[in-house]
């Protein structure tokens, strides 16, 4: 059961081979057994989960079963969940029981899914290793001494360790794709605007997107079907016709069947992503993956994303700027942490925020405050937004020559917990391949494609054109039909 796909679980529930209560209990027991060590979950509430599971069973009995009804899903603790502690990995919200639910949570609720728990994350989504969490680091299930990636490390670990069959996560600079890569699972960041941000605690508003994490592209597609869709409460949510993201999964690329299902697919390989800084184990594994795609009929096309090197600097201006503003509401007045001792209002603000936020969050707020401050706005923020357009334009050009762009997700496989914690810049450089898609607003996904140093997972990055998620998932699905990286399970879970 713990290795069943979502489709299989749904069928099992439908035929009553298992009930939602049983299924949920199964995962709750695993969490109970393993979470102490892995620290993937911040909050688990068996009573609440089992009540939802019982509701789902009743619904299934009535014949009103949707694809995810009765299926337990773990949610990154960045999604406000009514009645549940929603901490965003921070002391600032350690006491915050959310009075409302995010749009994404509401959609899972409407689908009859079960809330399995809230997963651990880098504080306020700022990090690439889930080491900045107030609740302590998450451990990579492949090797407990290593990080699972971040900021959605808890969700990734939960799925990889089979503590949950599926999870939600968010991606601002790579926070779905990178932990998916480092833990050997599938994660997707949709086109900006496809998933509502209402109730998704904001980090960088123009970059944040919620997305699914699962053990396969097929699972991710089913999850995306629930998560995606217009929400009038989010002004950046796109009003589009509803899509079934599973619709292309079994269709060959160009309608020619069987032997070479990806015949006609042009895979752009950006030369800038295979240069210095990429470790050889990752480079080789990714290259082998592309070769596999070629076996399936695809063609490799060399492309250039000339402004790639500017993406990290631009991102580390834009994201902190927006974050510094988004985090101004955490002031101890209406909810969340408030310092226990202070002299006056000013002191209350300053102590509350100094004590409530961790070091990385404070660093980014300071950077953001600086680049927006008087006299620096043009030179930094505006400049970064211009570079953003250059990066987006690079992709526009690239997609004239290819259908998808592929490459590495991360310069290395997972690193040891604590190895980069003291050097923020080193940490930031992890995001070098994933950030461009966020800046451009393009959909990106990571699928497992092998193992590298220390037998740790390697992920393949797939970036598609705007709104091409269904096609991307199809491409990934064909790869997963021909390989079994996505079915590997870490030892000792």
Q: Which residues are catalytic?
A: 76, 151, 175
351, 362 Cβ separation under 8 angstroms: no
| Sheet with 444-451, edge to edge strand ranges | 41-43, 114-119, 72-76, 167-171, 209-214, 186-189, 444-451, 457-464, 404-408, 266-270, 299-303
In the region spanning residues 114 to 153, those forming contacts with other proteins, defined by CB under 8 A, are none
Nearer to other proteins, 146 or 466 (CB): 466
Q: Are strands 444-451 and 186-189 parallel, antiparallel or unpaired?
A: antiparallel
In the region spanning residues 199 to 218, those forming contacts with other proteins, defined by CB under 8 A, are 199-202, 204-206
User: What's the closest the beta carbon of residue 322 comes to other proteins, in angstroms?
Assistant: 6
156, 185 Cβ separation under 8 angstroms: yes
- Burial code (b: 16+ CB inside 10 Å, e: under 16) for 82-93 equals eebbbbbbbbbb
The only residue of 377, 397, 482, 487 in contact with other proteins, by rule CB under 8 A: 377
223, 214 Cβ separation under 8 angstroms: yes
The only residue of 60, 71, 74, 102 in contact with other proteins, by rule CB under 8 A: 102
- Applying CB under 8 A, the span of 14-22, 181-189, 333-341, 400-408 interacting with other proteins comes to 333-341
Q: d(Cα 391, Cα 262) in Å, to the nearest integer?
A: 28
394, 306 Cβ separation under 8 angstroms: yes
The only residue of 14, 58, 333, 482 in contact with other proteins, by rule CB under 8 A: 333
DSSP calls for 310-322: GHHHHHHHHHHHH
- Applying CB under 8 A, the span of 132-140, 173-181, 376-384, 399-407 interacting with other proteins comes to 376-384
Nearer to other proteins, 190 or 214 (CB): 190
Distances (CA, A) of 295 to 1, 52, 339: 32, 45, 60
In the region spanning residues 384 to 403, those forming contacts with other proteins, defined by CB under 8 A, are 384-390, 392
In the region spanning residues 344 to 363, those forming contacts with other proteins, defined by CB under 8 A, are 344-351, 353-354, 357, 362-363
What does DSSP assign to residue 65? -
The only residue of 15, 255, 276, 374 in contact with other proteins, by rule CB under 8 A: 374
The only residue of 70, 153, 174, 193 in contact with other proteins, by rule CB under 8 A: 193
In the region spanning residues 59 to 88, those forming contacts with other proteins, defined by CB under 8 A, are 79-80, 86, 88
In the region spanning residues 406 to 445, those forming contacts with other proteins, defined by CB under 8 A, are 423-425, 428, 440-442
Nearer to other proteins, 232 or 397 (CB): 232
If we measure between CA atoms, which residue out of 406, 381, 417 comes closest to residue 472?
Answer: 406
Could you say whether residue 332 binds other proteins (CB under 8 A)?
yes
The only residue of 76, 91, 197, 461 in contact with other proteins, by rule CB under 8 A: 197
- Burial code (b: 16+ CB inside 10 Å, e: under 16) for 260-270 equals bbbbebbbbbb
Nearer to other proteins, 10 or 43 (CB): 43
Chain centroid to CA 201: how far? 14
User: What's the closest the beta carbon of residue 101 comes to other proteins, in angstroms?
Assistant: 10
Nearer to other proteins, 22 or 45 (CB): 45
User: What's the closest the beta carbon of residue 414 comes to other proteins, in angstroms?
Assistant: 23
User: What's the closest the beta carbon of residue 269 comes to other proteins, in angstroms?
Assistant: 23
């Amino acid at each position: 059961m713990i290795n069943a796909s979502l489709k299989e679980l749904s069928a099992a529930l439908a035929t009553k081979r298992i009930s939602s209560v049983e299924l949920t209990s199964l995962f709750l027991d695993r969490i109970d057994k393993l979470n102490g060590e892995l620290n993937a979950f911040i909050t688990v509430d068996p009573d609440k989960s089992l009540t939802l599971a019982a509701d789902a069973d009743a619904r299934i009995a009535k014949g009103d079963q949707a694809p995810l009804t009765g299926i337990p899903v773990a949610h990154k603790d960045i999604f406000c969940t009514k009645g549940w502690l929603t901490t965003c990995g921070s002391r600032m919200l350690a006491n915050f029981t959310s009075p409302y639910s995010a749009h994404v949570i509401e959609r899972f609720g409407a689908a009859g899914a079960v809330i399995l728990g809230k997963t651990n994350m880098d504080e306020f989504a700022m990090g690439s290793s889930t080491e900045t969490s107030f609740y302590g680091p998450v451990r990579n299930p492949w090797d407990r001494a290593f990080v699972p990636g971040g900021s959605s490390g808890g969700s990734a670990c939960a799925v990889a360790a089979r503590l949950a069959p599926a999870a939600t996560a968010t991606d601002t600079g790579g926070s779905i794709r990178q932990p998916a890569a480092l833990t050997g699972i599938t994660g997707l960041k949709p086109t900006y605007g496809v998933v509502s941000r209402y109730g998704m605690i904001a980090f960088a508003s123009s970059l944040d997107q919620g997305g699914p994490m699962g053990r396969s592209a097929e699972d991710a597609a089913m999850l995306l079907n629930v998560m995606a869709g217009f929400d009038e409460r989010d002004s950046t949510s796109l009003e589009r016709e509803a899509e079934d993201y599973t619709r292309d999964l079994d269709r060959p690329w160009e309608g020619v069947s069987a032997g070479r299902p990806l015949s006609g697919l042009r895979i752009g390989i950006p030369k800038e992503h295979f240069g210095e800084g990429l470790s050889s184990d990752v480079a080789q594994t990714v290259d082998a993956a592309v070769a596999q795609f070629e076996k399936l009929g695809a063609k490799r096309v060399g492309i250039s994303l000339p402004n790639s090197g500017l993406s990290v600097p631009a991102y580390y201006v834009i994201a902190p700027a927006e974050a510094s503003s988004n985090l101004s509401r955490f002031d101890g007045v209406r909810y969340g942490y408030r310092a226990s001792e202070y002299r006056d209002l000013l002191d209350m603000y300053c102590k509350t925020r100094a004590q409530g936020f961790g070091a990385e969050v404070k660093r980014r707020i300071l950077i953001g405050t600086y680049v927006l401050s008087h006299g620096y706005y043009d030179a930094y923020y505006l400049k970064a937004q211009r570079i953003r357009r250059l990066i987006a334009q690079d992709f526009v050009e690239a997609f004239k020559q290819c259908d998808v762009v592929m490459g590495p997700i991360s310069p290395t496989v997972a690193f040891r917990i604590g190895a980069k914690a003291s050097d923020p810049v080193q940490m930031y450089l992890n995001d070098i391949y994933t950030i461009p898609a966020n800046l451009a607003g393009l959909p990106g996904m990571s699928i497992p494609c092998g193992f590298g140093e220390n037998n740790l997972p390697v992920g393949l990055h797939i970036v598609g054109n705007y709104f091409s998620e269904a096609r991307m998932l199809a491409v990934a699905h064909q790869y997963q039909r021909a390989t079994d990286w996505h079915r590997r399970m870490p030892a000792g879970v």
